[in-house]
C-alpha cells in the first residue's frame, strides 16, 4: 500500500534510534519533498532495523524511499546485479546500510565509467555522486547502539574542526606521525587534496560515512617511510578486531614490508596476503581488467589513507566505522586509496592511539596539530 510506514507500531520503536534516523534524513541528507531515496541493506539484525527507521524518516520528510535487501558482502565479494541495477536508476539520495560492505561493482571494475575529466571510476555508486550529483552516506558494519550514540552530535563543531584540519593538511608537503606505542612515520602529501566526512551531505554530489567525523587524505605515492604501530583496532577483509598486542609494521617507499606481533598481526597479514593472492586470481577469472592483477597485488601493501578522528561521541569499541572517528586517534589504511591511483582489492583501516602529528611545510616551518591526541587548531 502506498506511503505506508514499514512498522504500523512505529511508536513502539526505540525513540533514540528513530531520532537518529530523523537527524540522518533531515539534517545530514536534507531530504526534500518528492526526492527518491534508495536504501540498500542486508536482512540481518541491526542494519535492517536501522534501515526501517531511515525508510520511515524519509517517508515522513516527503521523500520516496525504496528499500532493497541483498546477502551480506565483504571486501572480496561483489554486490548483487539487481542492487547495481537499482543504483543505476539514479536516485537523488543513496544510503548503504551494510552489515559488512556494499560489495564491489563487477561491471564497473571490468569497464570503468568515466567522469567528465576522464577519471576512471570502478563503482556506479561513486560515479553517480561525481557525475549525477547524488547525495549519499554509507555505514558499513554499523550497529544500533553506535548509530544512536554517534549520529546525534554537534555538526557545526564537527564542520569547524574538519575544515581546520583540512586547511592544515592542504598546505603541508608532508606529516610526521609519532605515538606512545612506537609509531615514527613520515608521509608525503604533495599533490594531494584532503577530503571531509563532516556530516553535511545536503549538497549535490556530497557523501561519506555515517557516523561522520574525520578529515582524510591519500598519501603521496611512494613517500611513506618508517615504523607504524597499530594499538587501537584494525579492519580485516571479513570484520574488525580490537588490538590487545600491538601490530608493528615497517613501511618503505609507501609499502608495508614487514608485519610483526601476535594474533592481530597475523590476522592483518592474512588479509594483506589474501588481497595479493586474489588480485592474481581475480584477473584470471576476468573479475578485474586484464593486466591489472600485478598492480592490485602490489597495492595490497600500499598506505592508502591518513585520517584524523573528529567525532566526540565515538570511542574504540572494535567497530571500525565508529573507531576511526574517535577523538585522540588517527587511522591509516593499507590497500587502495581515495584518489584511485593505487587500486587494490582491500582497504584496511587501522588505528593509532594518542598520536602526535606534525605538519611540515615547503618553507621548512612546521606545526603540531595533534599533540598526544589533543587537537590544536586554535
Across the chain, which distance is largest between two alpha carbons, in Å?
66
| Residues 46, 50, 55: CA angle, nearest 5 degrees | 145
Kindly list the domain boundaries of the chain, sorted by start residue: 10-145, 154-375
Digit-coded pLDDT (tens) for 89-140: 999 999 999 999 999 989 888 888 887 777 778 888 888 888 888 999 999 9
What topology is assigned to 10-145 in CATH? Answer: Rossmann fold (3.40.50)
**Residue the block writes with cell 531511515:** 54
**CA 164 from chain center: how many Å?**
20
For the ranges 6-20, 188-202, 222-236, which has the lowest average pLDDT? 6-20
CA 301 – CA 157 distance, rounded (Å): 35
Pairing of strands 303-309, 329-335: antiparallel
d(CA 73, CA 123): 15
Give the model confidence (pLDDT) of 290-321 as tens digits: 999 999 999 999 999 999 999 999 999 999 99
What's the whole-model pTM score? Answer: 0.88
β-sheet bridge partners, residue 114:
120
Place of cell 592508502: 304
Q: For 279, left (φ over 0), alpha (ψ -120 to 50), or beta?
A: alpha
With cell 556530497, the residue in question is: 206
Instruction: Report the alpha-carbon distance of residue 64 to residue 278 in Å, rounded.
Output: 39
Amino acid at each position: 500500500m502506498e506511503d505506508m510506514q514499514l512498522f504500523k507500531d512505529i511508536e513502539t520503536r526505540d525513540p533514540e534510534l528513530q531520532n537518529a534516523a530523523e537527524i540522518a534524513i533531515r539534517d545530514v541528507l536534507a531530504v526534500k519533498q518528492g526526492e527518491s531515496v534508495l536504501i540498500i541493506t542486508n536482512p540481518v539484525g541491526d542494519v535492517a532495523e536501522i534501515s526501517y527507521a531511515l525508510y520511515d524518516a524519509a517517508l515522513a520528510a516527503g521523500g520516496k524511499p525504496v528499500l532493497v535487501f541483498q546477502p551480506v558482502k565483504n571486501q572480496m565479494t561483489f554486490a548483487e546485479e539487481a542492487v547495481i541495477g537499482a543504483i543505476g536508476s539514479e536516485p537523488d539520495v543513496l544510503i548503504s546500510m551494510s552489515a559488512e560492505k556494499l560489495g564491489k561493482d563487477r561491471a564497473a571494475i571490468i569497464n570503468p565509467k568515466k567522469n567528465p575529466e576522464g577519471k576512471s571510476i570502478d563503482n556506479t555508486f561513486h560515479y553517480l555522486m561525481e557525475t549525477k550529483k547524488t547525495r549519499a552516506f554509507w555505514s558499513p558494519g554499523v550497529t544500533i547502539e553506535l548509530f544512536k550514540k554517534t549520529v546525534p552530535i554537534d555538526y557545526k563543531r564537527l564542520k569547524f574542526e574538519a575544515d581546520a584540519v583540512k586547511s592544515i593538511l592542504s598546505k603541508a608537503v608532508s606529516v610526521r606521525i609519532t605515538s606512545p606505542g612506537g609509531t615514527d612515520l613520515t608521509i608525503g602529501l604533495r599533490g594531494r587534496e584532503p577530503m571531509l566526512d563532516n556530516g553535511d551531505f545536503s549538497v549535490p554530489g556530497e557523501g561519506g560515512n555515517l557516523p561522520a567525523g574525520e578529515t582524510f587524505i591519500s598519501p603521496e605515492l611512494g613517500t611513506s617511510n618508517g615504523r607504524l604501530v597499530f594499538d587501537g583496532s584494525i579492519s580485516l577483509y571479513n570484520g574488525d578486531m580490537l588490538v590487545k598486542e600491538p601490530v608493528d609494521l615497517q613501511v618503505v617507499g609507501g609499502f608495508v614490508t614487514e608485519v610483526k606481533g601476535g594474533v592481530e598481526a597475523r590476522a592483518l597479514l592474512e588479509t594483506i596476503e589474501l588481497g595479493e593472492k586474489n588480485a592474481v586470481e581475480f584477473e584470471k577469472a576476468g573479475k578485474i581488467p586484464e593486466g591489472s592483477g600485478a598492480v592490485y597485488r602490489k597495492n595490497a601493501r600500499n598506505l592508502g589513507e591518513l585520517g584524523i578522528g573528529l567525532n566526540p561521541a565515538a570511542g574504540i569499541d572494535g567497530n571500525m566505522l565508529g573507531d576511526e572517528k574517535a577523538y585522540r586517534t588517527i587511522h591509516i589504511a593499507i590497500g587502495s586509496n581515495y584518489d584511485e591511483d593505487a587500486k587494490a582489492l582491500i582497504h584496511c583501516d587501522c588505528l593509532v592511539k594518542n598520536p602526535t602529528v606534525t605538519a611540515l611545510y615547503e618553507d621548512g616551518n612546521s606545526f603540531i596539530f595533534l599533540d598526544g591526541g589533543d587537537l590544536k587548531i586554535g
